[in-house]
Structure 1
């Protein structure tokens, strides 16, 4: 009888520890990591991480804008595209993505907010056009830490006034 109770207690402990490990592993390594989604993401895009080196978040490290030609190059390209909406909507469209250690981008996510910063869909077509524009930007520069190129998260927030992009943040 004692043997059965000990066996049951040991079995329960092992079972619970396996369950705990499974539930912990579903969380990202770093808060804000974008998980791969086969419906949205290119399977050919490669992260540049190891267990000891993770992708930098935009709030970590330098405050530099790591794009060839700086932010002004992005603004100039955006002006040439003449992206706008027929609806005279106001708000913000943010495109967040990962730049890998080769300067290639992937794992794009879009969030739209109204002028009061409440999540909503301002204009789906405008959001899609700004996403395509952001994906077309190919001048991202990999960051380096102690001689190693690392991936990092980047975002572009497009301020929309009367259906037109009035500002690019950050």
Structure 2
């Protein structure tokens, strides 16, 4: 009995450990890099295009630059401070990350939002807060064109906005 029990356990573990291969419709199963933003016709403006193809979008830090805007970060801060209308609420605390692509012409598109509390747990902010921040970000037109080997490139960018009691507390990076 002991031997047959052992045989059953071995066979059972063998069958359970086998994985079947799943077919994927001629598409890659995963994105190229964590954080890549795929085009989405329902979310994105169709006139926004990347110049160098989907596989050639860089992270801004891959180009040896920090975040770059014409007018420096102070212009970005002043834009948010002058346009954001606080929604005072003691429950509106955390981080709103807006990630997007700057194309080779310095135009921004493919905006995506991630919201979390200060412990990085998923959280949903009031829609009025999020929509204001997204609209302000979309309105920024002073993104630098970055180059690699003197060729303008497309690159990812992000802003992290810290919200405390519905007030704008900080903008990173």
TM range (shorter): 0.7 to 0.9
Residue among 62, 65, 68 paired with 2:64:
62
Matching residue of 2:99 = 96
Q: Is the 8 A contact 1:83 1:130 kept in 2?
A: no
Larger Rg: 2
Residue among 60, 68, 73 paired with 2:75:
73
Matching residue of 2:162 = 159
Matching residue of 2:171 = 168
**Aligned pairs for 1:1-170 within 5 A:** 22-50=25-53, 54-88=56-90, 89-170=92-173
Q: Is the 8 A contact 1:114 1:122 kept in 2?
A: no
- TM-score under structure 2 length normalisation: 0.79
Q: Return the alpha-carbon distance in structure 2 between the equivalents of residues 131 and 65 of structure 1.
A: 18
Aligned length: 151
RMSD: 2.0
* Partner SS for 1:77: helix
Q: 1:61 deviation in Å?
A: 2.6
* Partner SS for 2:160: strand
Gaps of 5+ in 2: 1-21
Q: 1:21 deviation in Å?
A: 7.2
Q: CA 1:169–1:31 in 2, change beyond 3 Å: closer, same or farther?
A: same
Q: 1:28 deviation in Å?
A: 3.0
Q: CA 1:92–1:21 in 2, change beyond 3 Å: closer, same or farther?
A: closer
Matching residue of 2:11 = none
